[in-house]
Chain A
Amino acid sequence: MSAHAASAPKTRTAPARAPAGFPMGFYRYRNYVLFAATSLFMMLGCAMLLDAIHALGQGEAAWLAFQARMARPYYLATSSVVLLFTLYFVIRFAWVGRKIAAGRIGPIPRPPVPMFVTGVAPIGGFLTLWLILLLILGGFLP
C-alpha cells in the first residue's frame, strides 16, 4: 500500500506534483544542486591527485611531466574550479556539522557554547590545518 493511499479512497485524486522550482528554478534548490555538484568536482580532484601519485611512482621524469601538464591553462582552470567547489563544500558541510553539534547525542550533551561558535569555530580549525599542510607541502615544515 503506497504511503499516499487514503484509508478509504472515495474519489479520483490528481497525482502529487514535485516541489515548485526543483531543481534549478529556485535559488535554494539551486544551492542544493550546487552542493551535490561539489561531489562531482571533488571526485575529479581525487582523480587528479591519484594521477599525481601515479606520476610520483614512475620516477622523476614522469613527476616533472605531470607538473608541466598541470601548469597548462586548461588544467589550471580545472584545478581552480575543483578548488572553488571544494571551498563551497567546506562551508556547507560545516553548516551540517553545526546542526548535529547543537543537540544532545545519546549521553553526549551539546557543547555549552552559543550556536554561532559551533558554526564558525570549525572553519577556524580547517584554516589552521590547511595552513599547516600547505607549509609541509611547501617545504617550510619538516
Chain B
Amino acid sequence: MKLIHRLEPLWWILFGAGGFTACFFLPALILGVLILTPLHVIAQGLVYWRAHELAAHPLGRIFLVSVLSLVLWHCAHHLRHFALDVFGHKAAPAAAFMSYGLALAGTITAFVLVSAL
C-alpha cells in the first residue's frame, strides 16, 4: 500500500492520459465498431480483410494496445477513488489492488490479443 501511495502522481497521470485518450478515440470506436458496423450502416469499412489489415498493421497494433490500456487505467483510478468515497478508509487496499489489478489484466489481455492478430 505504501508503494501505491508513493506512486500516486503516476496513477493520476495515467488517469489524465487515459481520460484524454478516451475523449479522443472511444466514442468513435464504440459507435463504429460496436454499433454502426453490426447494423451494416457502415458496411465496407470493417469487412474482415480490411478490419484485420487495419488492426494488424504496426501502427494499428500500437493504437489498439495504447488506447485500450490507457482507458482501462483511467477507469481503474476513477473507480478506486469512488470506492474510497463510498466505503472509506477500510476499503483502501481492496479498492487499489482490485482496480489496478483489473487494469493490468486488461492491458496484458490487450497485448496478447493484438499480438495474435
Contact = CB atoms under 8 A, between A and B. Distances in A.
Interface residues of A, number: 53
Given A39-B79, A45-B26, A93-B19, A68 B38 contact: yes
Nearest to B63: A133
A136 interface: yes
A139 B19 contact: no
Interface in B68-117: 68, 71-72, 74-76, 78-79, 81-82, 85-86, 102, 106, 109-110, 113-114, 116-117
B33 A52 contact: yes
B106 A71 contact: no
Contacts, number: 160
Q: Which applies to chain B's interface (DSSP): helix, strand, loop or mixed?
A: helix
Contact of A137 (B33, B38, B75): B33
Interface stretch (A75-83, A103-111, A112-120): A75-83
A23 to B, nearest CB: 7
B36 interface: yes
Given A42-B75, A45-B34, A50-B110, A137 B45 contact: yes
Size category of the B interface is 35 or more
B22 A89 contact: yes
Interface of A: 23, 33, 36, 38-40, 42-43, 45-50, 52-54, 56-57, 60, 63-64, 67-71, 75-76, 79-80, 82-83, 86-87, 89-90, 93-94, 96-97, 122, 126, 129-131, 133-134, 136-140
Interface in B32-82: 32-39, 42, 44-46, 48-52, 54-55, 64, 68, 71-72, 74-76, 78-79, 81-82
B4 interface: no
Given A50-B110, A71-B38, A137-B45, A36 B23 contact: no
Interface of B: 19-20, 22-39, 42, 44-46, 48-52, 54-55, 64, 68, 71-72, 74-76, 78-79, 81-82, 85-86, 102, 106, 109-110, 113-114, 116-117
Given A43-B75, A133-B29, A137-B46, 4 more contacts: A43-B106, A54-B113, A126-B24, A137-B37
A90 to B, nearest CB: 5
Given A42-B75, A52-B33, A126-B24, A57 B86 contact: no
A61 B26 CA distance: 26
Contacts of B102: 43
